Amino acid sequence: MTHTVHIIGGGLAGSEAAWQLANRGVRVRLSEMRGAGLPDGGGRSPAHQGDGLAELVCSNSFRSDDDTANAVGLLHYEMRACNSLMMRAAHEAQVPAGSALAVDRDVFSAHVERALSEHPNVEVVRERIDTLPALGLTIVATGPLTAAGLAASIGAATGADSLAFFDAIAPIVYRDSIDMDICWIQSRWDKKTEASNEDGDYINCPMTRDQYLAFREGLLDGEKTEFKQWEADTPYFEGCMPVEVMAARGEDTLRFGPMKPVGLDNPRDATPEFPQGRWPYAVVQLRQDNKLGTLWNMVGFQTKLKHAAQVALFRTIPGLANAEFARLGGLHRNTFLNSPILLDRQLRLKTAPHVRFAGQITGCEGYVESSAVGMLAGMMTAAELAGEHWESPPRTTAMGALLSHITGDAEASSYQPMNVNFGLFPMPDDKVRKKDRKRAYTDRAKRDLSAWLGNMQVSEPA
């Protein structure tokens, strides 16, 4: 078969991209290194157990399937409307899990493998690709454990020194769950830039000495995740040292690091002697994480605490008692691009626009999100080949919000993998009550998706 598009990686993103292209009459070569029988034993990543396409290695759940009150359930809805192979396979392999979409992993993978292997426009080749192709339309969908050779080639093309490191991720909090009767907005020493908010750049959560000492003990005593054997020799990324590692270095290490209080005057402690307030003993700072201002990152709080321990401990921080988290912290070996800088709005590498990236390597997190970005990459490539104008899905949809986050809405300096969540969407009408907000997001998204599908004619018959 003479192919028109080369897809590297047969996980969920690569498989979905191949399906979308093939159904539009485009011939695809899908390269998957698992099952290649390589003499150096390099045909399978440390996380994979089998050789099937679209193997689920971490969980058998696609999370919530509720498309009326949940962002990932809305993403399911949108992908089904676009004839997603992953959603078809999930339906075929579904097992009881309440409102969650959970699947039999073997049945799921077998369905994807069969659909692509039998498609006349798809050639599945078991081979490892070690360098980015210099010519020809290519979609790279190799995931967070990209093989060393290809990772080095990507690094050379993007100017990155290394794409493999322990990615210690800080939690992200929804802005409207922060108690601003306790916290206040201010930049340290009131220093501002052109990009600053009116009052400053940070939300500050003040701590007394007793609160700080109790919080530090919680960091030291909290239950932590353990490294997998194949992660053990991968170093921390120096800019993302876990907060509990810093806490273990001494009682005051955090107070002279991410929890430094100097230059921050708490206005609620103002007295005649100190009319602008006074310095707290320690401060937890949150920095705006997206342009919409709906998500705020806990500065310097990269952590390997288990999720339940994070929620319990971080809600003891003054002002965060009712915090809702768009993402909790984590620590794992990861390979991903700084996509807001490196990719254009159509997921093309700016320095080599014949190459698109899709899936988790772009900085989306999760099976569903990875599949959705693969689907979009396939649609974009098909439109490019047909000479058609490509219009991205509206930012009010789950697909559009995720794509906007990856390709420009996120802060490049602090870009980290992200699941789809309503914090990535533009806010609905201010008149919508908070308890009705999730339904407002989903109703608006469905209306806008319908109009987009009609204008773009991207939906395929089931």
Cα–chain center distance at 215: 28
List the structure tokens of 174: 């929804």
363 is in an annotated binding site: no
Those residues whose C-beta lies under 8 Å from the C-beta of residue 138, and which sit 6 or more positions away, are 5, 6, 7, 8, 132, 354, 355, 356
Residues 71, 420: contact at Cβ < 8 Å?
A: yes
Instruction: Please provide the DSSP assignment of 194-250 as one string.
Output: TT--SS-SEEEEEE-HHHHHHHHHHHHHS-B----GGGTTPPBPGGG--HHHHHTT-
What the block records as the tokens of 160 is: 């990155």
Contacts of 450 (CB under 8 A, 6+ apart): none
Q: What gap in Å lies between CA 107 and CA 259, rounded to an integer?
A: 49
12 is in an annotated binding site: yes
Q: Was 359 annotated as part of a binding site?
A: no
Strands 202-207 and 184-185: antiparallel
Q: At what angle do helices 71-81 and 437-456 cross, to 10 degrees?
A: 20
With a CB cutoff of 8 Å and minimum separation 6, the contacts of 431 are: none
**Annotated binding-site residue? 398:** no
Q: Cβ(81)–Cβ(459) under 8 Å?
A: yes
Buried b or exposed e, range 358-375, using 16+ CB within 10 angstroms:
bbbbbbbbbbbbbbbbbb
11 annotated among ligand-binding-site residues: yes
C-alpha atoms less than 13 angstroms from C-alpha of 58 in its C-beta half-sphere: 12
**Annotated binding-site members:** 9-14
**Residues annotated in the binding site for FAD, as ranges?**
9-14
